[in-house]
Chain A
Amino acid sequence: MNNLLDFILETFAVTDTEVRKLLRDPTELISRAVQPVLWLAVFGQVFSQVRGIPTGNLRYLDYMTPGILAQSILFSAIFYGIAIIWERDLGIVHKLLVTPAHRSALIMGKAIAAGIRGLLQALVVYLIAIALQVEIRWAPLSILTVVAGVFVGSCIFSTFSLVIACIVKTRERFMGIGQLLTMPLFFASNAIYPLELMPGWLKVIAVCNPLTYLVDALRGAMIVGGQSLYALSMSFAVMLFVFALLWGLATWLYPGLAR
């Protein structure tokens, strides 16, 4: 399968380039670490005193840690698309689209790079969690589940971001929509409170929100005593399905950026 080999090598070329750029300028990575610190050290510490949220036997801080990990993945991935608007304004997109490379590989390469970025982000959240004495599961299978979840989650939200960028095409509109989407996605999920506390209409939205499945999978894997609502296989099936849809959509929309 020559075609498949080409696809893999093209994907690698894009990922390699993106990761080099990320490691060369990690400012964003560092500045994005501030938010989870605030959520866990301030919000989490205070709300742990409230005890109004049914979290089973878990401390509230422990309960919300996987949610904040998912949130930091979401918040950093959702602005990923701004880079391709920048690349479009310059002419890099045009240069890429004139090559015979698969468009689907160009998108996949960026998604994988976002996945790697998400893992670095996760490392930061783990360090904060350790500092706050959150009880973390260290079993290899637990870690592997978190790694897989963070990776797929980053792929989903970064590709979602690419789709938006392909549609709006300008930085100003993109920033507006990015801001508009993050908070609703976050609050309409089980990141900081369980689904059972939600009014019916919100629950419907939360069940359709891929962030919910990411949080649910992370909650079962990351924290001692944490429990998932859905089977791990189901959460991953939903996430992979959503990613496949977004990947297809982005592949279809991406060439329109050169117009």
Chain B
Amino acid sequence: MTDAIEPFAITTSALSKSFDQIKVLDALSLEVRQGLIFGLLGPNGAGKSTAIKILTTLLNASSGSATVAGFDIAKDPIEVRRRIGYVPQMLSADGALTAIENLNFSARLHGLRGGQRIARVKEALSFAGLEEVAAKLVRTYSGGMIRRLEIAQATLHYPQVLFLDEPALGLDPIARRTVWERLLQLRKTKGMTILLTTHDMEEADVLCDELAILHQGRLAVMGNPAELKAQVGENASLDDVFVHFSGVVIDARGNYRDTRESRDVIQRLG
């Protein structure tokens, strides 16, 4: 396999997506090296979630191409799926099941069998810090516990690339930190490449080795956080970088739909 030699975990070339003739993603070209945490930043509607959905094979691109873990997303979607994990923005752990049941379910769908499945589920429970509540229904968990479970669920099969859509959205500061720790741990111990979307600049600053800022479906800028700050000016923060390149103030309230959606998520995460 070319997996090990391939220097890039993700490459995209002029990747575009239109819905009803509106370009949501416009000729996105980027390369993400193995073992990095890569942040996709941008205001609401910039095309971040669309990009993630295309790279995780949930959505077909209108034009352009991409590879993930060395495989073409359009030609070998199954090979891509074997090598990726995905934590959606919404609540993807099943509240009507226990943590163990959620993990067993994901493990089986990823083709983990017998003793290997049992060992991985055990490891995942310890990784998520949920051993003591493993047999309780997930609907009784806090938002942070659920997120940790979801990350554990998405990494049971040791994916090469992990995708997360707004991983810390709606979490309190402490829960947010525990989620970040887990992601840093995955990169360190498993060498996992992580691509996440966020519009939390603190999150981007703490986690990301490299950033790309999207604006109206286009790549506005790409680089490591220090470089980007230096480009904007002395003592610039990531907030300044974001405003400079996306032309959007982060605290802008967004439209009704954005607000409703993010509140829904916050509510569900409890």
Q: Which residues of A contact B (CB under 8 A)?
A: 6, 9-10, 12-14, 16-17, 20-21, 24-25, 89-92, 94-101, 255, 258-259
> Known contacts being A10-B108, A13-B109, is A92 close to B81, with CB within 8 Å?
no
B177 at interface, CB cutoff 8 A? no
Q: A17-B97, A99-B110 are in contact. List 13 more A-B contacts (CB 8 A).
A: A9-B111, A13-B104, A17-B105, A24-B96, A94-B58, A95-B106, A95-B154, A98-B57, A98-B58, A99-B106, A99-B109, A100-B111, A101-B109
CB 8 Å contact bits of B150-164 with A (1 = contact, 0 = none): 100110000000000
Residues of the A chain whose Cβ atoms lie less than 8 Å from the Cβ of B154: 95
- A38 and B269 CA atoms in complex are apart in Å by 41
Q: Decide if B92 is an interface residue (CB 8 Å cutoff).
A: yes
Q: Closest approach, in angstroms, between the C-beta of B196 and any C-beta of chain A?
A: 15
Are the CB atoms of B111 and A90 closer together than 8 Å? no
Known contacts A95-B153, A100-B81, A9 near B90 by CB under 8 Å: no
Q: Is the CB of A258 within 8 A of B53?
A: yes
A21 touches B96 (CB 8 A): yes
How many B residues have CB within 8 A of the partner chain?
32
Asked whether, in the complex, the Cβ of B268 is within 8 Å of the Cβ of A90, the reply is yes
CB-based closest 8 A-B pairs: A91-B90, A13-B108, A91-B88, A91-B92, A95-B92, A99-B109, A101-B109, A98-B86
Asked whether B91 is an interface residue with its Cβ less than 8 Å from the other chain, the reply is yes
B101 at the interface (CB under 8 A from A): yes
Q: Are the CB atoms of A99 and B81 closer together than 8 Å?
A: yes
Interface residue? B82 (CB, 8 A): yes
Q: How far is the CA of A62 from the CA of B88 in the complex (A)?
A: 52
From residue B58, how far is it (CB to closest CB) to chain A in Å?
Answer: 4
Determine if B111 and A20 form an interchain contact, defined as CB atoms under 8 angstroms apart.
no
Interface residue from B85, B89, B94, B111 paired with A92 (Cβ < 8 Å): B94
Task: Identify 11 residue pairs between A and B in the complex whose beta-carbon atoms are under 8 Å apart, listed by A's number.
Answer: A13-B105, A17-B94, A17-B97, A21-B97, A25-B96, A89-B90, A95-B86, A95-B150, A96-B109, A98-B85, A101-B110
Q: Taking A20-B101, A21-B97 as contacts, is the C-beta distance between A100 and B82 under 8 angstroms?
A: yes
User: Which chain A positions have C-beta within 8 A of B56?
Assistant: 98
The verdict on A94 contacting B90 (CB below 8 Å), with A100-B78, A258-B53 known, is yes
Q: Is B113 an interface residue (CB 8 A)?
A: yes
CB contacts (< 8 Å) of B113 on chain A: these are 9
Of all chain B residues, the one with the shortest Cβ separation from A89 is B90
Decide if B84 is an interface residue (CB 8 Å cutoff): yes
Q: Name A87's closest neighbour in chain B (CB-CB).
A: B94
A17-B101 in contact (CB<8A): yes
**How far is it, in angstroms, between the C-alpha of A25 and the C-alpha of B137 when the chains are bound?**
12
> Which residues of B line the A interface, CB within 8 A?
53, 56-59, 78, 81-82, 84-86, 88-92, 94, 96-97, 101, 104-106, 108-111, 113, 150, 153-154, 268
Residues of A within 8 A of B89 (CB): 91
Set of chain B residues within 8 Å of A89, measured between Cβ atoms: 90
Bound complex: CA A16 to CA B91 (Å): 21
Question: Could you tell me the distance in whole angstroms from the C-beta of B93 to the nearest C-beta in chain A?
Answer: 8
Give the distance to chain B from A87, nearest Cβ to Cβ, in Å. Answer: 8
The reply to whether B90 and A90 contact each other, CB–CB distance below 8 Å, is yes
Check A9 against B108 for contact (C-beta < 8 Å). yes
Minimal beta-carbon separation of A141 from chain B (angstroms): 35
Complex Cα–Cα for A21 and B105 (A) = 13
Expressed in whole angstroms, the Cα–Cα distance for A259 and B94 within the complex equals: 20
- Residue numbers in A under 8 Å from B81 (CB-CB): 98-100
Candidate in B78, B85, B101, B105 with the most chain A CB atoms within 10 angstroms: B105
In the docked arrangement, what's the CA distance between A6 and B109, Å? 9
- A17 CB to closest chain B CB (Å) equals 5
Which of A91, A96, A97, A98 lies in contact with B91, CB distance below 8 A? A91
What's the Cα separation between A20 and B104 when bound, in Å?
13
* Residues of A close to B90: CB separation below 8 A: 89-91, 94
| B84: chain A residues within 8 A (beta carbon) | 98
User: Nearest Cβ distance between residue A117 and chain B, in whole angstroms?
Assistant: 15
- CB-CB under 8 A for A94 and B86, given A20-B97, A258-B53: yes
Chain B minimum-CB-distance residue to A25: B96
Contacts of A20 in B (CB 8 A): 97, 101
Smallest CB separation, A10 vs chain B (Å):
6
How far apart sit A117 and B106, CA to CA, in the bound complex (Å)?
A: 23
Chain A residues, CB < 8 A from B268: 90
A90–B110 Cα gap in the complex (Å)?
20
Q: Which residues of B contact A6 (CB under 8 A)?
A: 111
Q: Is the CB of B92 within 8 A of A258?
A: no
